[in-house]
Amino acid sequence: MFKKIHRQMLRLRARLGSFWSIILGLIYLLIVFFVGISYYMGAEDWDFASSFYMVVITLSTVGFMEVNQLSEQGRIFTAFMIMGGVGGFVYIAGAFAQIIIDGRLQILWGKHKMMKEIGKMKDHFIICGHGRIGSIVAQEIMAEGHDVVVIEQTPELIDKMEQDGILCLEGDATSDEMLLNAGLLHAKSLISALTSEAANVYVTLTARQLNPDIIIVARAGDKSHISRLELAGADRVVLPHFIGGLRMAQNVLRPTVTNFLELAVRGGIDLQMEELEVTPTSELVEKDLIESKIRPRFNLIIIAIKKESGEMVFNPGPKEVINSRDTLLAVGKKSDLNDIKNIL
């Protein structure tokens, strides 16, 4: 029983950190207050209001006169109470000064502002894990001008993200509370890039239950785990090692094509591939590619059209009709891709 209580106290102390000292000091002062009031009411036969007032002016050392005449024993008790009470105040003041020195108040204020900012976000991206994979994902998404919230457990990575101005939460991504704090209900997509396969499955399962409409991309370490993650609710499963090996092979087999794609992705040339969703109110609805005048008007090449049913039409002909909720896979300059979004 005592060992269990001791373990709980240790956990609480670790969780509160520097604030543990202040809490102990406040508990000590409350005990002093209780003992002082009880003594004056019992031994000196005072009423509660007089006893309370006497304890306050004694511990605060304001120097007022005694409320009522004290006995000799009462004066001795009051002297010890002054020493004990002042010591408690000094202890709390020291603990508070330590918190300021450690920067804990600034950290708390920063976290409060960050949580407020996250609460206002909509259609942002949540990234679970900021390791080798997660850091690259965050960097690429932020480079496109999108909002990102990262959930990470490692304090060193949290410090680095805070210095880089990345919104982040320190905690376990498998926690429902942590995912909700990251704005899961209003997020556009969640990327689970944790190193643990079981953790990725759990995050995917939890996120899908909390927000059935969110797009989930999960990391897998082996092909055999793909079905498991898809069953948990992942829309797409990525194998980083497989993609890395495939890219290296393509560098050898098709170096020109690979170099061209790398230049386009990294911004070496002004070329970009983009997904463009056609809304019901777009002027492109029910027009074929010739009537839409996408090529002469925006200087873009449509290499594929994904229908609302999921069917993919590659290299669509000039008479291919654009329907509402179709997704156009276009290639062109970034400025031209931004221009066509005005009519979608």
Element (H, E) at 301: strand 301-306
Every domain of the chain with CATH number 3.30.70.1450 lies at 270-343
Q: What is the pLDDT of residue 149?
A: 93
Residues 270-343: name the CATH superfamily. Regulator of K+ conductance, C-terminal domain (3.30.70.1450)
Nearest-angstrom CA–CA distance, 138 and 133: 9
Domain 122-238 in this protein, CATH class = alpha beta
Whole-angstrom Cα distance, residue 204 to residue 198?
A: 10
> In this predicted structure, what is the pLDDT of residue 118?
82
Structural contact between residues 51 and 30, judged by C-beta atoms closer than 8 angstroms: no
How much is the pLDDT for 72?
82
Q: What is the pLDDT of residue 108?
A: 57
Specify the pLDDT at position 68.
79
Q: Judge whether residue 296 has pLDDT over 90.
A: no
Write out the two tokens for 161.
């993200």
How much is the average pLDDT of 268-280? 79
What strand order describes the sheet that includes 215-219? 167-170, 148-152, 125-128, 189-192, 215-219, 236-238
The model's pLDDT over 88-123, given as tens digits with 9 standing for 90+, comes to: 777 777 777 666 655 555 555 566 677 778 888 888
**Range(s) for CATH 1.10.287.70 in the chain?**
14-102
Mean pLDDT on 47-72? 80
Phi, psi of 252 (to 5 degrees): -85, -45
DSSP letters along 219-288, please?
E-SSGGGHHHHHHHT-SEEE-HHHHHHHHHHHHHHSHHHHHHHHHHHHTSSS-EEEEEEPPTT-TTTTEE
Q: What is the pLDDT of residue 154?
A: 87
Strands 301-306, 327-332: pairing kind: antiparallel
pLDDT tens digits along 116-144: 788 888 889 999 999 889 999 999 899 88
pLDDT at position 17, please? Answer: 57
CA distance 71 to 92: 31
pLDDT at 51: 86
Burial 116-151 (b: 16+ CB within 10 A, else e): eebeebeebbbbbbbeebbbebbeebbeeeebbbbb
Distance CA 167, CA 182 (A): 9
Helix (H) / strand (E) containing 13: helix 2-16
Per-residue pLDDT tens over the stretch 172-230: 898 888 898 888 988 999 999 998 888 999 999 999 998 999 999 999 888 888 888 98
C-beta separation of 328 from 288 below 8 A: no
- Return the percentage of the chain with pLDDT > 70, whole number: 85
Length of the chain: 344
**What pLDDT is stored for residue 150 in this prediction?**
93
Per-residue tokens: 254: 């098709």
Burial class (CB in 10 A: 0-12, 13-18, 19+), 56: middle
Higher pLDDT among residues 240 and 192, named by residue:
192
φ/ψ of 170, rounded to 5, equals -95, 120
Confirm if 229 and 205 have CB atoms less than 8 A apart. Answer: no
Query: What is the per-residue pLDDT across 5-36, written as a single tens digit (0 to 9) for each?
Result: 666 666 666 555 566 777 787 888 888 888 88
The CATH class that applies to domain 14-102 reads: mainly alpha
Ranges of CATH 3.40.50.720 domains, the chain = 122-238
What is residue 266's predicted lDDT score, i.e. its pLDDT?
A: 62
pLDDT at site 105:
52
Tokens 């689970």 sit on residue: 192
In this prediction the pTM is 0.59
* Dihedral angle, C-alpha 315, 319, 325, 330, nearest 10 °: 40
Helix (H, G, I), strand (E, B) or coil at 18: coil
Question: Quick check: 202 and 173 in contact, CB under 8 A?
Answer: no
Give me 203's structure tokens: 């995050």
Residue 1: the pLDDT is: 60
Residue 70 pLDDT greater than 60, yes or no: yes
